[in-house]
Structure 1
Amino acid sequence: MEKKTATRKLFDGTLYWPSTLTPSDGLDAHPSLREKVVTRVAIIGGGMTGAILAASLTRAGIPSVILESGRAASASTAASTGLLQFSNDIMLCELAERIGEAQAVGFYEQCRQSVAMLGLLAEAAGSKGAALQPATSLYAASSDEDEKRLLCEYKLLERNGFPVSWGMPKSVPASLSAYKPVAMTAYGDALANPPLLARTLLRAAVAGGCSLYENSPVREVKRRGGKWTILAGEGEVTASHVVVATGYVPGVAAAAQLKPILRRTYALATQPGSVPADFPADTMLWETARPYFYFRTTPDGRIVAGGLDEDRPDPTGDETFLADRSAMLIADLSRYFPNAEFRADYAWCGMFGESADDLPFIGEDREQPGLFHALGCGGNGTVYSTLAARMLLASIAGEKHPLASLLDPRRDAASSGSPSSAPATRTRLA
Structure 2
Amino acid sequence: MGEDNAMTHARQPRHLHDGTLYWPKTMSTAPSYPVLKQRISTEVAIVGGGITGAICAAVLARHGVPAVLIEGQHIASGSTAANTGLVQFANDVMLSDLIDRIGENDAVRFYQACRKAVVALAQLSADTGEDIGYYTRSSLYCASCEDDVAKLIREYSMLRKHDFPVTWGIPSKVGGEFAKVKAGGLVTHGDAEMNPVRMAHALVSYAAKRGVQVFENTGVLEVGRLNGKFTVLCAEGEIVAEHVVKATGYLPGIVTQAASSAPILKRTYALVTPPGQIPEEWPEHYMMWETARPYLYFRTTPDGRILAGGSDEAMPDTGCDAKILQDRTEGLLAQLRELFPRQDWTAEHAWCGMFGESADDLPMIGEHAEQPGIFHALGVGGNGTVYSMIAASMLRDRILGRDNPLTPLLSPSRNQQSGSSSISPYWPSSSTQPSTSMFA
TM more than 0.5: yes
How many angstroms apart in 2 are the aligned matches of 1:262 and 1:415?
18
Residue 21 in structure 1 maps to residue 46 in structure 2: no
* Aligned residue type for 1:333: L
How many angstroms apart in 2 are the aligned matches of 1:376 and 1:226?
27
* Aligned residue type for 1:200: A
| Structural mapping, 1:248-397, within 5 Å | 248-249=250-251, 251=253, 255-257=255-257, 259-397=262-400
User: What is the TM-score of this pair, normalised by structure 2?
Assistant: 0.90
Write the deviation string for residues 42-73 of structure 1: whole angstroms up to 9, x where unpaired: 00100000000000100011111011110111
- Give the SS at the match of 2:157: helix
Question: Which residue is 2:71 aligned to?
Answer: 68
Mean CA deviation greater in 99-108 or 119-128: 119-128
Write the deviation string for residues 156-202 of structure 1: whole angstroms up to 9, x where unpaired: 00110000000122332253234324100000111011101111111
User: What is the TM-score of this pair, normalised by structure 1?
Assistant: 0.92
- Give the SS at the match of 1:228: strand
Residue 241 in structure 1 maps to residue 243 in structure 2: yes
| Structural mapping, 1:168-247, within 5 Å | 168-173=170-175, 175-247=177-249
How many angstroms apart in 2 are the aligned matches of 1:9 and 1:123?
32
**Superposition RMSD on alpha carbons, in Å?**
1.8
Residue 42 in structure 1 maps to residue 45 in structure 2: yes
* Match among 127, 149, 161 for residue 124 of structure 1: 127
- Residue pair 2:299, 2:308 contacting (<8 A) in 1 also: yes
TM-superposed CA distance for 1:122, in Å, is 0.7
Q: Percent identity?
A: 51
Question: Which residue is 1:428 aligned to?
Answer: none
Structure 2, gaps ≥5 residues long: 3-7, 422-440
Residue 9 in structure 1 maps to residue 15 in structure 2: yes
- Residue pair 2:267, 2:353 contacting (<8 A) in 1 also: yes
* Aligned residue type for 1:160: H
- Residue pair 2:379, 2:388 contacting (<8 A) in 1 also: yes
TM-superposed CA distance for 1:346, in Å, is 0.6
- Residue pair 1:44, 1:243 contacting (<8 A) in 2 also: yes
- Give the SS at the match of 1:118: helix
Question: Which residue is 2:81 aligned to?
Answer: 78
How many angstroms apart in 1 are the aligned matches of 2:23 and 2:238?
33
TM-superposed CA distance for 1:342, in Å, is 0.7
How many angstroms apart in 2 are the aligned matches of 1:416 and 1:41?
32
Question: Which residue is 2:428 aligned to?
Answer: none
Question: Which residue is 1:427 aligned to?
Answer: none
* Aligned residue type for 1:141: A
- Residue pair 1:244, 1:250 contacting (<8 A) in 2 also: no
Mean CA deviation greater in 9-18 or 280-289: 280-289
Question: Which residue is 1:138 aligned to?
Answer: 140
* Aligned residue type for 2:179: S
Equivalenced residues, count: 412
Write the deviation string for residues 369-410 of structure 1: whole angstroms up to 9, x where unpaired: 211100010000000000000000111122221111110111
How many angstroms apart in 2 are the aligned matches of 1:223 and 1:197?
33
- Residue pair 1:58, 1:210 contacting (<8 A) in 2 also: yes
* Match among 155, 162, 165 for residue 164 of structure 2: 162
Residue 405 in structure 1 maps to residue 411 in structure 2: no
TM-superposed CA distance for 1:273, in Å, is 0.4
Q: Which stretches of structure 1, 4 residues or more, deviate above 6 A after TM superposition?
A: none
How many angstroms apart in 1 are the aligned matches of 2:109 and 2:91?
13
TM-superposed CA distance for 1:250, in Å, is 5.5
* Aligned residue type for 1:150: L
- Residue pair 1:51, 1:201 contacting (<8 A) in 2 also: yes
- Residue pair 1:244, 1:251 contacting (<8 A) in 2 also: no
- Residue pair 1:67, 1:232 contacting (<8 A) in 2 also: no
- Give the SS at the match of 2:141: strand
| CA shift in 2, pair 1:277/1:404, >3 Å | same
Structure 1, gaps ≥5 residues long: 419-430
- Residue pair 1:32, 1:233 contacting (<8 A) in 2 also: no
Question: Which residue is 1:148 aligned to?
Answer: 150
* Aligned residue type for 1:221: V
Question: Which residue is 1:422 aligned to?
Answer: none
- Residue pair 2:316, 2:354 contacting (<8 A) in 1 also: yes
Mean CA deviation greater in 11-20 or 382-391: 11-20
| CA shift in 2, pair 1:196/1:216, >3 Å | same
How many angstroms apart in 1 are the aligned matches of 2:68 and 2:142?
43
How many angstroms apart in 1 are the aligned matches of 2:200 and 2:399?
23
